Structure 1
Amino acid sequence: MYSKELLLFEINEIRKEIGHESVDIQIYDIIYNEKTKELWIITEDRPDKAAIIGKGGWVVGKLREKLKVESIHVENYANYLQKEYQLKLAGKTLTKFQDKSQALSNLKKVLDEKLNHIYNFSINEYMKNSEFEECEKPQAVVALSGGVDSSLDAGTIILPNQFKHNIKDLCELLDVKHHYINADYSEIIAESLNGKFHPCGKCSKKTEELIYDYAEKNNLEFVIYGDMLSTGTQCITKQRENIYRINLPASLSTSKQEIKSVTRDYELREFDGFGCPLLYEVHRKFPYHKKFSIQRILRETRASALEVGEALDLIWSFYKTK
C-alpha cells in the first residue's frame, strides 16, 4: 500500500505538525492485511519504534487516521528474533509430546508454519486455509473465562454475566461442549475482602487444582491454558502423574495483539480493565493491594505479552476505581 519512503515521509510530516523533531527512522519491513485493514510496521530497533509511535501514541494515532486503516502495530526486528528463538525451543518440547496426541501434532504444524513465516504469519489466515486431522475423541480440557482472549484464557474467581455470554457464544460457534466446574471460593473471597491477601495467586492455584481434578476424573491427559509467559521449554509442563499443562499462546510465542486479531472473528464482547469484580472491590477497600496487581501487569510487559501502552491503560484503570 505504501513504500517505506512514502511511509517515512508521512510519519515525519505528522511529527512536524505536532512539534516533534524530524528523525531518520529505519524500517525493516511493512506488512498490510487488506482483509482486516491492519498495518504492521517492523522497525530496525526499538528507538525507531518509539519514533513512529510518538509521545503518548500521537504519531501512530494520526498516521492511522491519515492512512484510513483499522489499526497499526509497530514492532522492532529484535522482537522477531526473540520469537524465532522461543519458537525453536517450543518446537523441541512439542516434538517430545506430539505422538501422544493428534491435537499436539496439529499444534506443532502451526508452530512450524509460524517459524517459516515469522514476519508475515497470520494465525487467522493459516487456520482457515489449512486442513488438520480431527481427534477421535476429546483429548484436552480448555480452561475458559470468556474474556477478550476467551478460548486462550484461564478461570476467573467471580464470573460476571457478560463473560458467560461470551462463553456461550464461543462454544456454540466452535461446536464444543462446555461445563462449569462448581467450587467454593468463600474462604478466598472472605479473606481477600478482609485485606488478608491479594486474591489472584490463591484463586489461580485453587482454580488450577479444580481443573486438574476434572481432567483426571475424565481421563484427559492435557489441560490447555491461556498462559502467554511460559514460552519455549516451558510451553508444556507435567502437573500430575498423567496430567500435562499446555500453555497454548506461549507455545506459539503469541502476543496480545495476535490474540485479539484471532478473537475478532468471533464477535466477542470486549471489556476494559484488569481482573474480576472481587479484585476491584479489594482495590477499593485496600488500595495498597494495587501494587501487587501492577507487579502482575509489569511481569507480562517484561515478557512482551503486553505493549507498554496497554500496560499503562490497565494500571490507570485501577485508579478509576471508586
Structure 2
Amino acid sequence: MAGADLLASLGDRLETVRGRLTPDAGMDKITWFRAGGPAELLFQPADEADLATFLAALPEEIPVLVVGIGSNLLVRDGGVPGVVIRLSAKGFGQVERIGERTLRAGTALPDKRLAAAALEAGLGGFHFYHGIPGAIGGALRMNAGANGVETCERVVEVRALDRQGAVHVLTNEEMGYAYRHSAASRDLIFTSAVFEGYPAEEAEIRAKMDEVQHHRETVQPIREKTGGSTFKNPVGSSAWKEVDKAGCRGLRVGGAHMSELHCNFMINDASATAYDLECLGETVRARVLEASGIRLEWEIKRLGRFRDGAVVEPFLGN
C-alpha cells in the first residue's frame, strides 16, 4: 500500500492527532548513511500525550517501528511498511535536573547533550555519552556504552508507552540489561528516563569528556556518512581486530567501504545503496567467520524490505 493510501484508510481515526504525518517519507534523509527506501507513513508526535492518542487509534494490524536520529540505522532499499515513528526534539528532547544526583531526559535528546547537562549539574559518570553519536532512546534500547561505562550504570527508571498508548515505568532491573542489549519488550516506545550520577568537580568531568572527544577524532571517521560501530565486540576480542585480521580494512562493495581509519566502521562515500552497505557487512562477516571462526553480530540495526532481486543473505548464504 502506498503511504497516501494508508493515510487515507485511517480516515477519521487520527482527527485528534496533533503531530506531523508524512506519507512515503524518504528515510535516506534521516539516516546517517544517507541510503535506503521510504517509510510508508512517518509520524512525528507533538508530545507523549499525542503519541498515546495516535497509538490508541492505530489499528493493531499496522506495524509500528520507532527510530531515533538515524545514527545506528540501515534502512533497506525496499522501504519500511506501516508506520515509522520519529520522536521530535521539541516534544521529547528536553533534559532537567530533578534531584541532587538525578536528571530526567527525553528520548530524542542527543547523548552528547545529556553529557553536557551532567557537566553543568556537576554530576560524574556521563562523560562517555559525549562520544556516542545517537539519542537517549537508542542508548536505552541497546545499553549503549563507551570508555568502560554503559547506560545500565546510570539508569534509574524508564518511562514508555505500549502499543495501545498506555504508560509503563520500568526499573533498571526490569530493563534486563546485558552487553548492547535490553530485554524490555520491543513493543514499548521509550519516552523519557531518569538517570543518576555522582558529585564530581567540573574540571574532572570536562577532562574526561575532552579525552573522549580526542579519542573519537583520532581513531574514528566521524565526518563521513557512517553508522558508527558496525559489529558488536565478540567475547575476548574486538570487532575491528577480527575485521582487520580477515583482510577487510578498506574492503569495498559498490559505493561503500570499510574505513581505513577504523575498520569496524562502514562508509558511504559514493552514493552507496542500502544493498551495497548490507552486502559489504555480510561479506565481512563471512570472511571473519572463515578466518577465525567468529560469527560477528551486527550492532547497526537493519530494517525494512529488500528491493526485488536484491536480497542479502546472512554471511552471504554461507
TM-score, normalised to structure 1, is: 0.26
TM-score, normalised to structure 2, is: 0.26
- For the pair shown, the structure with the greater C-alpha radius of gyration is 1
Give the structure, 1 or 2, with the largest relative contact order (CA under 8 Å, sep 6 or more). 2
